[in-house]
Chain A
Amino acid sequence: MFKNKAVSLPYLVWSAVFVIVPLGLVAYYAMTTKTGQFTLDNLARVGQYAPVIMSSILLSIIATIISLIIAYPLAYIMSRSSGNTQRTYMMLIMLPMWMNFLLRTYSWMTILERNGLINRFLELFGIGPLTMINTPGAVVLGMIYNYLPFMILPLYTTMLKIEQHTIEAAQDLGATPWQVLSRVIIPLSMPGVTTGITMVFVPCISTFAISRMLGGGSSMLIGDLIELQFLGNTYNPNLGAAISMVLMVIILICMAMMNMFDEGEDKEAMLL
């Protein structure tokens, strides 16, 4: 077989310079003062923002769980339909991802507002205006809406691999539909579930535009906090870097937990 390690050299240099060094810089900034002296104050100050961090985690977990609940049956239905229908479904799920997510989120504002489409529709039945926008619920909705395809796709790919014969065999052996689901389908689709969870949870927890547009600025998330330090009211890259570090740690913990639950071996294919 053709072997040439040297051709990967440009890439190795590239990732060293633009992936590893910048992360080192984040760590450096997080642990220094503005004048460059070593300090742990920045990291300590992050503790002050515990409520922000916790509410981000909470909202992201809720969004991830709901996405999973919505996506699971859909992925199953998709994987059990005929080739052409599958292709059409795939296309329909991919298509929205081509539209700019800010615009789609902005469009939700038009729908959810007090004088928005839903409220105007409800008005026809005499139901008073509901407060939907500028609530944490709206933020969760925005997260689910934007990242649902990331949950559907890995689930769908793993479920494709479950042979119809396996399910039939279980049924022939007397398993009830519930048993088929819990003993066959769910265990076999576990790799997809864990990949899906990571792929939804990570962008959810680090988003900043969604919360600003749909949450009305009062439910601040980690992403907002970081953005605020670099491009917002306070220019404080040191604190921003410290919060970024904490964010990375949270995500690493999340991934480690997912790995533990994931007994599948080949993750590469899932990520795509």
Chain B
Amino acid sequence: MKRIIALLVALVACFSLLCLPASANELGLDESYYSRFKDQDISINVYNWGEYISDGSDDTMDVNAEFEELTGITVNYSTFATNEELYDKLKSGGADYDIIIPSDYMISRMIQEGMLLPLDFENIPAVENIFPQYLDTNYDPEGAYSVPYTWGTVGIIYNTAMVDEVVDSWQILWDDKYTNNVLMFSNPRDAFGITLKKLGYSLNSTDELELRVAAEELKMQKPIVQAYVMDEIFDKMQGGEAALAPYYAGDALTMIDANPDLAFATPKEGTNIFYDAMCIPYSCQQKEAAEMYINFMCEAEVAAANIEYIGYSTPNQAAFELLDEEIRTNPISYPDDELLVNTEEYVALPGETNLLMDSLWTEILTTDDQFLTWLMPVMLIAGCVASVVKIVARKRRRAREMADY
């Protein structure tokens, strides 16, 4: 009985979320807490992943608009495509963000480099909605700098119209049956992560030999790969441009919705489990307002609306309980524990490992163009010869013209 009621409540909640993007007050949030900055003309700059917040399209909740209406704080929202882009923007000193949502390994790197401010959890009461196990993490061991926003796993998304066999291993991305039909991550960390896992190493390996072996594997894979991409995978797989690609579980759900031919598998060798968490960088000008935003994002209805929009897995217990039964039991979003045994989070790698990985990666991307190296002297010589010929011709003509006079 209790369960049925809970389900009903959940359904009603979802229904109301879907049908009428409820105004802030209808969410039943604490007015006195959220009205502290009203009429003070404060604005915060939020830097998030692309398509990573419920934005009001297709009758979803417009989270930023709700927040602005509730608190009177203006939200300047912009998006980035990779953790590194975010890091570079912060590091180059020109950034002015108050809230950023990086992934696990970037958070640990930023903590190490002192780029994050510790959060004042007094200002974030809604943090109690988060499952306790997601507050105790490797990337933020003290749990002082971040509040998790989503989590998910990387797996293989494939088109069942083109792939007949059972997909359960990374090995299939190396299968030359699918030449020109495989998409691969263009980010060295992710590409190496997959390869290291395939080889049975840790995806946080710092061993030079292991990395070199992985690089050799990636070179072998290159002839099979159609393109090295990141977010483009979404569009390309959905449009049937390729048969296989590694991608994130949450997006896979959205893609399967749009193209029923697609399916998703979590490889048996294990994979990367990732967290994206909200943090406040040292450039923050409005820390309390930023904490208010984080708190807002942790509110059950808001978090549920975001999760429904994004399709990733939620670390927010209150929001989880608001989700559809169908979503809560979906093995893609919330896989069985046994599949999660081999998963690993990324941690920040030491500088020399990053450097090695980057130079190996550039080597991989340029590997079959070796003939171009000796083309350089050929072209230089050709250019010199052409110039000399031209100069001689000109001189001769001048001489002739002089003679004519």
Taking a contact as CB atoms under 8 Å apart, the answer to whether B372 and A113 are in contact is: no
- Residues in B neighbouring A237, C-beta threshold 8 A: 92
Chain A residues in the interface with B (C-beta under 8 A): 48-55, 57-58, 113-115, 131, 133-134, 216-218, 220, 225, 230-235, 237, 253, 257, 260-261
- CB nearest to A218 among chain B residues: B228
Interface size of B in residues (CB-CB distance below 8 Å): 43
27 residue pairs from A and B, CB less than 8 Å apart: A50-B373, A50-B376, A51-B369, A51-B370, A52-B362, A54-B372, A54-B375, A54-B376, A57-B379, A113-B241, A115-B239, A115-B241, A134-B226, A134-B227, A218-B228, A220-B366, A225-B362, A231-B85, A232-B82, A232-B88, A233-B84, A235-B88, A235-B91, A235-B92, A237-B92, A257-B383, A257-B387
Count how many pairs of residues, one from A and one from B, have CB atoms less than 8 Å apart in the complex: 93
Choose one: B85, B89, B229, B241; the contact of A217 (CB below 8 Å): B229
Against A, the Cβ 8 Å flags (1 = close, 0 = not) of B174-196 are 00000010000011110000000
Choose one: A48, A115, A133, A134; the contact of B359 (CB below 8 Å): A48
Taking a contact as CB atoms under 8 Å apart, the answer to whether A218 and B180 are in contact is: no
A54 to B369, CA, bound (A): 9
Most buried by B among A51, A231, A235: A51
- Residues in A neighbouring B373, C-beta threshold 8 A: 50-51, 54
- CB nearest to B90 among chain A residues: A235
Main secondary structure of the interface of A (DSSP, over half): helix
A52 to B359, CA, bound (A): 13
Taking a contact as CB atoms under 8 Å apart, the answer to whether B226 and A216 are in contact is: yes
Minimum distance in angstroms from A256 CB to a CB of chain B: 9
Minimum distance in angstroms from A46 CB to a CB of chain B: 11
Minimum distance in angstroms from A56 CB to a CB of chain B: 10
- CB nearest to A217 among chain B residues: B228
Choose one: B188, B227, B240, B387; the contact of A233 (CB below 8 Å): B188
Taking a contact as CB atoms under 8 Å apart, the answer to whether A52 and B366 are in contact is: yes
Taking a contact as CB atoms under 8 Å apart, the answer to whether A51 and B372 are in contact is: yes
Choose one: A49, A133, A235; the contact of B84 (CB below 8 Å): A235
Taking a contact as CB atoms under 8 Å apart, the answer to whether A49 and B85 are in contact is: no
B391 part of interface (Cβ distance < 8 Å)? yes
